[in-house]
Structure 1
Amino acid sequence: MPAEIAEDFNEAAAVLSISPKASAALSRRCLQGLLKSNGYNQKDLAPAIQAALDAGTLPPALAENLDAVRNIGNFAAHPMKDKQTNAVLPVEPHEAEWNLEVLEGLFDHYYVQPAKAAARRDALNKKLEGAGKPPLKTGSGT
């Protein structure tokens, strides 16, 4: 994972108990960096999220929760008011924590699982090579 993404995530986790609003804003920034590092280079976060969803590569539960990070981060970055009470809507601690959980799922999807799969493929290819066999085929469906 790129260092700046890890830094934003760690900072968002560190300030969660002190300021859910700051944590949510950092989570939103972290999400934008994560998506950009994975090829979603749209200028704004909402279109980058939509592009990631449209790609159809995210597990359904993760895809369903992805936009929550943007919306909760919006409460932090752009104060919104309740239409009935006119009170500014705060970021609740459980919402900021949810952002961190969604980001952890994205880290697993984009960074952890591909690294594990690559290591396993490399180990099996070495074993196949030692047995005089061809390496694993690459590409989808092969």
Structure 2
Amino acid sequence: MEPFKWQCPHCNHHTTITEKNFVDREFGLSIENADGYKVLYSYFIVCPNAECNKYVLGSILFDSVYEARNGSWRHYDQKEIKHWRQVPNSFAKVFPGYIPKAIIQDYEEACAIIDQSPKASATLARRCLQGMIRDFWNVKSSTLFKEIEEIKDKVDPLTWKSIDATRKIGNIGAHMEKDINLIIDVEPKEAQVLIKLIEILIKDWYINRYEREEMLNEIVDTGIRKTEEKKANND
């Protein structure tokens, strides 16, 4: 296998995974059935961070082409039907405790239901986004649309467009179309993109601010300590 970059969902440690920390297996459905041949691909990854060392278990279900002549399945060029993680049981990342609890709850619920209901996941991502905008930027307008407009000059243009796109996709799940027979689905990969934006904003808005304040407070404390040491020596 080719080594690949990876972030542990248990400890958020960034690393590179090699054969030493990775094992995978395939199981094929070669019996004639109404839905066609399938391959279930499963893998284990063990976090190489010594302070964590926990395992991750994931699976991917593919459409497959069964090659009877050699009794094997080919799925690498076929459609991915479903991708889910059994351990830990959602794709949610672990964030620091200083992130507002309501935001983390909406984020974790959006991650937990992404496969079962991508539309509901997108709706929760929208709700999570609104909570972050209200908390971090201290804006409280009558609609999310107006709140996003209020921060247009406070974030970079690409981030603002991504935030507005999240609102629009989340609206698909939150509001029924005027024509009730018109059904607009949200795909799991589309809901996953919205969750990625939430993760980026949590890092950019909350974590970066916290780490900056910690670093600046350390500089201030160091200055005070050195001033006191100098005064003590002079006395």
TM-score with structure 2 length normalisation? 0.51
Q: Of the two structures, which has the highest relative contact order with CA contacts closer than 8 Å and spacing of 6 or more?
A: 1
Once the 2 structures are TM-superposed, how far is the Cα of residue 81 of structure 1 from its aligned partner? 7.8
What letter is aligned with 2:148? I
Worse-superposed segment, 11-20 or 29-38: 29-38
Matched, 1:105 2:228: no
Once the 2 structures are TM-superposed, how far is the Cα of residue 104 of structure 1 from its aligned partner? 1.3
Once the 2 structures are TM-superposed, how far is the Cα of residue 33 of structure 1 from its aligned partner? 1.2
Deviating above 4 A after TM superposition, structure 1's stretches of 4 or more consecutive aligned residues are none
Q: Would you say the 8 A contact 1:62–1:105 is kept in 2? A: no
Matched, 1:7 2:105: yes
TM-score with structure 1 length normalisation? 0.81
What letter is aligned with 2:115? S
Task: Name the structure with the higher strand share.
Answer: 2
Corresponding position of 1:75: 172
CA RMSD of aligned residues (A): 2.0
Determine which of 220, 225, 228 is the counterpart of 1:125.
Answer: 220
Once the 2 structures are TM-superposed, how far is the Cα of residue 63 of structure 1 from its aligned partner? 1.7
Corresponding position of 1:46: 145
CA distance in 1: counterparts of 2:104 and 2:195, whole angstroms? 12
**Residues 33-86 of structure 1: per-residue CA shift (max 9 Å, x gap):** 111112110121100111111xx232333222110111010111123489xxx7
Corresponding position of 1:95: 190
Q: Mind listing any 5+ residue stretches in structure 1 that lack a counterpart?
A: 134-142
CA distance in 2: counterparts of 1:42 and 1:108, whole angstroms? 24
Q: Would you say the 8 A contact 1:27–1:99 is kept in 2? A: yes
Corresponding position of 1:137: none
Corresponding position of 1:63: 160
Q: Would you say the 8 A contact 1:20–1:91 is kept in 2? A: yes
Q: Compare CA radii of gyration and give the structure with the larger one.
A: 2
Tell me the SS of whatever aligns to 1:131: helix
Percent identical: 32
Q: How many residues align?
A: 128
Q: Mind listing any 5+ residue stretches in structure 2 that lack a counterpart?
A: 1-98, 229-235
Task: Name the structure with the higher helix share.
Answer: 1
Corresponding position of 1:140: none
CA spacing shift, 1:102–1:27, aligned 2, 3 Å: same
What letter is aligned with 1:57? K
CA distance in 2: counterparts of 1:62 and 1:101, whole angstroms? 12
